[in-house]
Amino acid sequence: MEEKRANKHNHPNWKRKLLYFLLILFLSSLGVGGYFFYEMYTAANKSFTDLERAGNKSSLRKQEVTIGDDPLSILLVGVENYSTGGQNGRADTLIVVTLNPETDSMTMTTIPRDTMVEINQVEEYAGTHKINAAYTFGSISGYGGSKLTVETVENLLDIPIDKYIAVDFEGFKDIVDALGGVTIDVKEGFWEKNIYQNNERIYFEQGPMHLNGEEALAFVRMRKRDVNVTYPREERQRQFIRAVMDETISAGTILKVDKISDILGENIETNFKPKEIYGLERTYASASSNQVETLNIEGTNERVNGLIYFVPNETGLATISEQLKQQLQLKTNKTMPTIYKANN
């Protein structure tokens, strides 16, 4: 089997910092000329998929949030659908990001894909499942893959999810390539199969590495090597997002607007409206990874009815929920400690 080594070289200079990689495509259009803005605005509209919620808000909210003024939660969903021919995939990656304009703080919480949850909105699938199945059940039943995933995450963490962005593997790869790749400081060497090149191995060496789309996807996907214990998948996913946050967009990237527009329309689904993206950019464009606090859900892997689930520690999950409520300025348990003044 042919083996492939990820390239090590310097990344080109970039000009503007961004929030995280899934919003790069949207934000890159802002502040440019009419043609570019029109193309990106049109593409963003094509990506828009409403969750059809009453009052255009989560049922856990009393009123709709105002982007740029109110604390906000965003669910980032990475959809694995290459093995199903692009249909009815699973939520391979789930990351909750919270943004608070008042405290200028951000949190990032990864939800393990095998987390045990109850899914009861769709009668034919009611019961105990892994959380990544919510996207599949919602898609097959017509309930909506993103809608059921958002609601399942809300039930797990007991917080409102205001916005979501879902991207499939093909979109992920194309996004990274359109941006010219991303530089990652690999903490521990490992290898992973390249699903686009007959499963040939991609080797990741310890230290800074510049990754193209296929390599970046393999970097965040790996979960079956022994090194996953000491360099877990969730850590690599967060590390990837932090790395892209500290990158900026070059003029050359903006000139690729036609390609970027195609990616937006074909491979990304979101309930962000173009004007809301503009409000987000105005408030958080200068954010860096130093402002991000990582929250970890503690738990154990347990076999239940022949399947391995990640079962969250109840006390730890309650603590995470309270921390996120603090960040979102929601009513919390008064006995919980205030965390942000101490950590920021």
Three-class secondary structure of residue 337 per DSSP: coil
Measured over all CA atoms, what is the biggest interatomic distance in the chain, rounded to whole angstroms? 59
Three-class secondary structure of residue 331 per DSSP: coil
Q: Give the single-character DSSP code of 66.
A: -
Q: Which helix (H) or strand (E) holds 219?
A: helix 213-221
**Does residue 343 lie in a domain region?**
no
**Does residue 159 lie in a domain region?**
yes
Q: Where are the beta strands (DSSP E) in the chain?
A: 3-5, 72-80, 90-100, 105-110, 116-119, 127-130, 163-168, 182-186, 190-193, 201-204, 207-211, 268-270, 292-296, 299-304, 307-312
Domain count, the chain: 1
pTM of this prediction? Answer: 0.79
Q: What is the pLDDT of residue 337?
A: 37
Query: In the Cβ-directed half-sphere of 196, how many Cα atoms lie within 13 Å?
Result: 14
CATH code (residue 121): 3.40.630.190
Bridging pattern class, strands 201-204 and 3-5? parallel
Three-class secondary structure of residue 99 per DSSP: strand
**Does residue 340 lie in a domain region?**
no
**Does residue 183 lie in a domain region?**
yes
**Does residue 342 lie in a domain region?**
no
Q: What is the pLDDT of residue 205?
A: 96
The per-residue pLDDT for range 135-179, each reduced to its tens digit, is 999 999 999 999 999 999 999 999 999 999 998 888 888 878 877
Residue identified by tokens 């939800």 is 111
**Does residue 209 lie in a domain region?**
yes
Q: What is the pLDDT of residue 273?
A: 82
Which residues span the domain enclosing 244?
Answer: 3-335
Q: Which neighbouring-strand residues pair with 330?
A: none
**Does residue 344 lie in a domain region?**
no
Tokens of 200: 């040939």
The per-residue pLDDT for range 167-219, each reduced to its tens digit, is 888 888 887 887 778 889 999 999 999 988 999 999 999 999 999 999 999 99
The whole-angstrom separation of Cα 271 and Cα 49 is: 5
Segments in the chain below pLDDT 50? 1-3, 8-35, 248-255, 334-344
Residue from 328, 334, 307 nearest 130 by CA: 307
**Does residue 341 lie in a domain region?**
no
Q: Which neighbouring-strand residues pair with 80?
A: 90
The whole-angstrom separation of Cα 45 and Cα 10 is: 35
Q: What is the pLDDT of residue 192?
A: 94
